[in-house]
């Protein structure tokens, strides 16, 4: 086979569009590689923060990069569910990675932060849990992960406290504080990197505080993390 090596490799179908997240104040975008999510990561309001000796190792699941919804786009209610829940979360975006990242080096991997919502088909997730099946049908559906524009850590620093909240139609539904996270951001990265080799472009949704609940078409959602950003959208 003698073919001239071209700049670009020919493909038999069109290349999938890269998933690019907007960055607050910059024209350049953040290209997404993988999307990881942390399971339950906020202690009950009654539990003292951060030093719960009975805490279990965190668990993880994934969404797909093209499940991300950015630019304030509205959230289309997904098919085959009658119980879609909001989960507001702090999102972290990695600029570097590796395996077995020590917690005291983990913050160096972070490009920036955003506010995200881990929309969940709770009814399908519940059935999957009951049957011991994977969670993807409850979690990794189209448009299931709206995110705000990223804020670079170079500008923001690394928030470890601050309100995280979500309103449905002007009424407060979720209210927590980043300092209630059972596994803090550096620990989340350290634990995840024991399981997977992390790399630039990976996104981690870090779990949600109490108050998750259902949404319906026509709902107006406003959510935020103090200092990080706001994420507003309608359910359509
Ligand atoms: Mn979640």
Residue 144, domain CATH:
3.90.850.10
How much distance in Å is there from the Cα of 89 to the middle of ligand 1? 7
- pLDDT given at position 1: 46
In a domain, 100, yes or no: yes
Q: 7 alpha carbon to ligand 1 midpoint, in Å?
A: 41
Distance 3 CA to ligand 1 centre (A): 48
Whole-number Å distance, alpha carbon 60 to ligand 1 midpoint, is 10
Cβ-Cβ contacts under 8 Å for 92 (sequence gap 6 or more): 110, 112, 113, 185, 188, 189, 203, 204, 206
For residue 14, pLDDT over 70 is answered with yes
Which pLDDT does position 44 carry in this prediction?
55
Is residue 225 a contact partner of residue 90, using CB atoms and an 8 Å limit?
yes
For residue 54, the SS3 value is coil
CA of 37 to the centre of ligand 1 (A): 6
| 13, part of any domain | no
165 falls within a domain: yes
Q: Give domain status of residue 185, yes or no.
A: yes
3 belongs to a structural domain: no
Under the banding of pLDDT at 50, 70 and 90, the label for residue 54 is low
Q: How far is the CA of 152 from the centre of ligand 1 (A)?
A: 22
Report how far residue 112's alpha carbon sits from residue 33's, in angstroms, rounded to the nearest whole number: 15
pLDDT band at 4 (very low <50, low <70, confident <90, very high): low
Centre of ligand 1 from the C-alpha of residue 151, in Å: 21
Number of structural domains (the chain) is 1
pLDDT at 3: 52
Query: Ligand 1 centre and the CA of 12: distance in Å?
Result: 37
Per residue in 79-117, pLDDT (tens digit) is 999 999 999 999 999 999 999 999 999 999 999 999 999
Q: Are 65 and 30 in contact (CB under 8 A)?
A: no
Q: Is residue 170 very low, low, confident or very high in pLDDT (cuts 50, 70, 90)?
A: very high
Please provide the average confidence, as pLDDT, over all residues in the chain: 92
Is the confidence at residue 46, as pLDDT, over 50? no
pLDDT confidence bin for 57, thresholds 50/70/90: confident
Map residue 129 onto helix, strand or coil.
helix
Summarised one tens digit per residue, pLDDT across range 190-227 is: 999 999 999 999 999 999 999 999 999 999 999 999 99
Q: Ligand 1 centroid vs 1 CA: distance in angstroms?
A: 50
Structural domain includes residue 193: yes
Which residue range is the domain that position 140 belongs to? Answer: 30-234
Å from CA of 149 to ligand 1 middle:
19
Task: Tell me the CA–centroid distance for residue 208 and ligand 1, in Å.
Answer: 5
Residue 57 resides in a domain: yes
More confident residue, 50 or 236: 236
pLDDT of residue 56: 78
In a domain? residue 17? no
pLDDT of residue 40: 84
Between 131 and 45, name the one with better pLDDT.
Answer: 131
């Amino acid at each position: 086979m003698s073919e001239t090596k071209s700049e670009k490799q020919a493909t038999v179908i069109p290349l999938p569009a890269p998933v690019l997240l907007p960055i607050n104040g910059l024209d350049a975008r953040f290209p997404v590689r993988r999307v990881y999510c942390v399971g339950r990561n906020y202690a009950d309001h009654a539990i003292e923060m951060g030093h719960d000796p009975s805490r279990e190792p965190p668990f993880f699941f994934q969404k797909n990069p093209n499940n991300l919804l950015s630019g304030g786009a509205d959230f289309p209610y997904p098919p085959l569910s009658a119980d879609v829940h909001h989960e507001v979360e702090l999102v972290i975006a990695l600029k570097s990675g590796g395996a077995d990242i020590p917690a005291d080096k983990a913050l160096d991997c972070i490009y920036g932060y955003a506010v995200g919502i881990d929309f969940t088909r709770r009814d399908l997730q519940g059935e999957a849990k009951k049957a011991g099946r994977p969670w993807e049908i409850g979690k990794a559906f189209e448009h299931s992960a709206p995110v705000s524009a990223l804020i670079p850590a170079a500008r923001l620093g690394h928030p470890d406290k601050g309100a995280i909240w979500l309103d449905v139609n002007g009424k407060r539904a979720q209210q927590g504080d980043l300092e209630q996270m059972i596994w803090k951001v550096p620990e989340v990265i350290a634990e995840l990197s024991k399981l997977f080799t992390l790399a630039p472009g990976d996104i981690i949704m870090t779990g949600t505080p109490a108050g998750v609940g259902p949404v319906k078409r026509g709902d107006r959602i406003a959510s935020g993390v103090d200092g990080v950003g706001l994420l507003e959208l309608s359910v359509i």
